[in-house]
Structure 1
Amino acid sequence: MKKLAIIGAGPMASVYAMRARELGIETHCFAWKQGAVAQEDVDVFQDISIFDIDAIEEICRNVGIGGVLPTTELTIHPAALVASRLGLVANDPEVAARITDKYRNRELTKCVSGLCQPRYALVRNSSDIETLNIAYPVVVKPTAEGGKRGVTVASNPCELKAAFAYAQDEKKDSSDVIVEEYLEGGAEYSVESLSFRGVHSIIQVTEKWSSGAPHCVELGHHQPAALSLEMRAKIEDVMACALTAIGMQHGCCHTELKIIDGKLYLIEFNARPGGDHISFPLTELSTGYPYITGMIEIAFGDFQIPDTSQFDHNYAGICFITEQTRQLKRIFDNCEQYSWLYEKHQATSKLERLTHNRGYDTNYFIYYSRDSKPTFLAEINLD
């Protein structure tokens, strides 16, 4: 029986474990027991720090692990180290150590044809703010956090100082803070991809509902994005070059973009599955392609590049029910009556105002249709 190591024990670890079981693969999860969401879903749980690479490597060797998967930004580097030491499929550990660095990725992709960049600057301390040469408004965020943590749009020097302090408080390590020109207008998207031996497959493009300033929280995701064939082809071409530029060789990547007046602007790369239910179940529902299975196959080195022209063209999406989306509450309260309902999740009886993405502990519903988009999407205006 094949054996898969999963580094981290959050919601994505549960998704991996579920799919691995369907495929007849035994799962071994490595993470601290406290707060481990996936503890009951995996076959074997190891109560251990994800950073104790020597111990994880020894256990993996002893049990005969054949593939290693990360689950979050924090586990990308440990997973690459373990897989590399075991001689398994992995991104270069030196690349994995910095592949979540937003400043590093902007520097590496600033010459990629067709990919635009806002003006940006690295800020290591508060005194650096005084020398910035970027016009307001600006976006301030940690260089190595995901899920919109620590993100603030600032419109003046006073807000900038507060935004920098907020970013500093939210980041979990010694990473820096990046300040970028705020891209006004247009629409936000994410690109879900799979890479194997340096060949990149664009699986799906997601259209996002965003709260906008000040924290740019994601309030909904919709697949497929409403794009022309020409724009979809452009995204696929540009992203293949961009993923190569940042050193992506193996695994999935969730890349965030903005399209303004037909131009692609990079927001950030995330070399892990798209959160907030994007990778699963949305991408699988909309394409009919087993995206999670693809990630597992890459880890074992037996991935076959999919023929994306044969994918289904279904409609799938998620709407988070928050203070920012209170106009969706009437849909949420009655969504059981609609044929498009895939899942309804109620975590709280009150509407909350989100300051960062919280895709698993807030109210939401997921829709799915093979025929057409639910009509409420045309009726709702979140601007």
Structure 2
Amino acid sequence: MPEYVLVGYSADLLRILDGFLAPDSVLVVDEPEVLATRGARDRTSEIACFADVIPAPVQDGAAHRLPDLVAPPPGTRAVLPGNDYGVVAAAVLADAWGLPGAGTEAARVFRDKRRQRRLADDAGIPQPAWREVADAAEAAQFAAGCPHGFVLKPATLQSSEGVQLLDPGADIEAAWRHTTARNATGGTMRIDAGPLAYLAERRLTGPEFSAELLMREGVPLFFNATAKRLLGGVYPVEMGHVVPAPAGDGVDTVLRESMMALARAAGFRTGIMHGEWIVEGGVPHLVECAARLPGDQIHRLIELAYGWSLLENWFVVMTGAAPARVPEEPAGAAIRFLDAPHGRVTSLTGLDAARSVSGVSDVNVAVDVGSLVEPIRSSWERSGFVIATGPDGEGAEAAARTASERIVITTRGAPRSAARDVMDDA
């Protein structure tokens, strides 16, 4: 009998859950269009924990209708968001069914970057100057007041889709066309529900981090700071993470305080918060925050570094129970994402050499000979990843870097290491 309702379909997440959940224990709720496009029933037939799907409107403004359309299955213990687009609907169902959750209003804050900006302004949480923009002219007007450049991004997408870091003098008309293109709609995870909203923000300078916070009824149970590596240039796609972030300058403490201030301001109750921060002038500035499991394998890095599963304990907390005790002295874990030149792959070498590096625990390549590699403009275009462990974050990152540099993906053009240079200021 299903015990968990997952709002937002993710075959990858279900396969991970299969490692610790009972057979037929997870019901998936998502948009009929998403379930059909992604072949949800066919792709999950071999996943034992998957019970069934419930087609229902869950995205954008439709979530409030869910309690009238979906009754709580007998024995349901928890409702959880499977991706960004299921955050509000999961909170709505949890509230309606009397189960632990983020709280509907808090969930709405963390699904819309405009709401986050207004909340942070009201709460006095440091963040960049910003405004909502409706066209390229408004973006250009805002850019005129940003001598060091600005950021243009959609307000409700994920995985860096449509986000651009623009220097002074950039072609704002061209940037606007890219950010608002119809392909920037969440791939196959999000329905095209009409026009999106867009933000222009002052460009921050400084090291970038994410912060993972597990809460139960407003009480913090686990906190981690993750150092980030970004692709250089216009598209701020994440190309690496280090857990825990190297200690120094009290970053861990100030990020914890910033995340708690954000949680209190939003009235967040139970679940995971995954915040992005840039430390400018020693002060964490809010980039954005999501109320769901962190992506980019960060939950795996946490498990490897701490010997403690964020994913499993999230499920425990969402039933109202207490999680396992967190080890006080973590080791280190790191991921490096792979890049390749645009074009058709003609050869792929170095995989065995990468796997032989001490500390490497996973080498995953998403392309093969004959694959078409697109330029990286969002997380979807990365060519794979390497995960490594070490005695601390720095040691793990060194191993992941060494391994990634041994992988060479050649396309029609010159060979190049699959580990493109990234911004290493975190």
- Unaligned residue ranges in structure 2 (runs of 5+): 186-191, 343-347, 406-420
User: The residue matched to 1:373 in structure 2 has which SS?
Assistant: helix
What letter corresponds to residue 320 of structure 1 in structure 2?
F
Residue 186 of structure 2 corresponds to residue 163 of structure 1:
no
Residue 100 of structure 2 corresponds to residue 83 of structure 1:
no
Other-structure match for 2:414:
none
User: The residue matched to 2:378 in structure 1 has which SS?
Assistant: coil
Tell whether the 8 Å contact from 1:9 to 1:39 is kept in structure 2 after alignment.
Answer: no
Distance in 2 (alpha carbons) for counterparts of 1:225 and 1:200: 19
CA RMSD of aligned residues (A): 3.1
**In the TM superposition, what are the counterparts of 1:149-160 in structure 2 within 5 Å?**
149-156=161-168, 159-160=171-172
Tell whether the 8 Å contact from 1:153 to 1:163 is kept in structure 2 after alignment.
Answer: no
Distance in 1 (alpha carbons) for counterparts of 2:145 and 2:4: 46
Other-structure match for 2:335:
318
Distance in 2 (alpha carbons) for counterparts of 1:157 and 1:286: 43
The 1:59/1:107 distance shift into structure 2, 3 A limit, reads closer
> TM-score by structure 2 length?
0.78
Return the match for 1:104 from 90, 115, 123.
115
Residue 415 of structure 2 corresponds to residue 366 of structure 1:
no
Tell whether the 8 Å contact from 1:16 to 1:292 is kept in structure 2 after alignment.
Answer: no
Distance in 2 (alpha carbons) for counterparts of 1:119 and 1:58: 41
Residue 323 of structure 2 corresponds to residue 300 of structure 1:
no
Other-structure match for 1:263:
283
Question: What number of residue pairs does the alignment pair up?
Answer: 373
Tell whether the 8 Å contact from 2:164 to 2:235 is kept in structure 1 after alignment.
Answer: yes
Q: Residue 116 of structure 1: CA displacement?
A: 2.6
What letter corresponds to residue 110 of structure 1 in structure 2?
D
Q: Residue 319 of structure 1: CA displacement?
A: 1.1
Return the match for 2:151 from 123, 139, 142.
139
Q: Residue 181 of structure 1: CA displacement?
A: 1.0
Q: Deviations over 1:264-310 (max 9, x none)?
A: 1211101111111112x111111122211221122211134x655x3
Residue 394 of structure 2 corresponds to residue 382 of structure 1:
no
- Unaligned residue ranges in structure 1 (runs of 5+): none
Other-structure match for 1:70:
81
Return the match for 2:202 from 181, 199, 204.
181
The 1:102/1:244 distance shift into structure 2, 3 A limit, reads same
What letter corresponds to residue 368 of structure 1 in structure 2?
T
Q: Residue 210 of structure 1: CA displacement?
A: 0.2
Tell whether the 8 Å contact from 2:387 to 2:400 is kept in structure 1 after alignment.
Answer: no
The 1:263/1:282 distance shift into structure 2, 3 A limit, reads same
Q: Deviations over 1:44-88 (max 9, x none)?
A: 121513528667776653433121010111101111122222111
Other-structure match for 2:8:
8
Tell whether the 8 Å contact from 1:282 to 1:316 is kept in structure 2 after alignment.
Answer: yes
Q: Deviations over 1:238-278 (max 9, x none)?
A: 21111211332221111011123422121110111111111
Tell whether the 8 Å contact from 1:332 to 1:364 is kept in structure 2 after alignment.
Answer: no
Return the match for 2:128 from 118, 132, 144.
118
Tell whether the 8 Å contact from 2:357 to 2:399 is kept in structure 1 after alignment.
Answer: no
Distance in 2 (alpha carbons) for counterparts of 1:62 and 1:160: 50
What letter corresponds to residue 7 of structure 2 in structure 1?
I
Tell whether the 8 Å contact from 1:152 to 1:216 is kept in structure 2 after alignment.
Answer: yes
Q: Deviations over 1:179-203 (max 9, x none)?
A: 011123x221111111211123442
Return the match for 1:148 from 148, 160, 163.
160
Q: Residue 217 of structure 1: CA displacement?
A: 0.8
Tell whether the 8 Å contact from 1:332 to 1:365 is kept in structure 2 after alignment.
Answer: no
The 1:119/1:76 distance shift into structure 2, 3 A limit, reads same
Distance in 1 (alpha carbons) for counterparts of 2:401 and 2:336: 14
What letter corresponds to residue 139 of structure 1 in structure 2?
V
The 1:378/1:46 distance shift into structure 2, 3 A limit, reads closer
**In the TM superposition, what are the counterparts of 1:210-289 in structure 2 within 5 Å?**
210-228=230-248, 230-279=250-299, 281-289=300-308
Tell whether the 8 Å contact from 2:136 to 2:172 is kept in structure 1 after alignment.
Answer: no
User: The residue matched to 1:275 in structure 2 has which SS?
Assistant: coil
The 1:180/1:332 distance shift into structure 2, 3 A limit, reads farther
**In the TM superposition, what are the counterparts of 1:346-361 in structure 2 within 5 Å?**
346-349=365-368, 352-358=374-380
Q: Residue 348 of structure 1: CA displacement?
A: 0.8
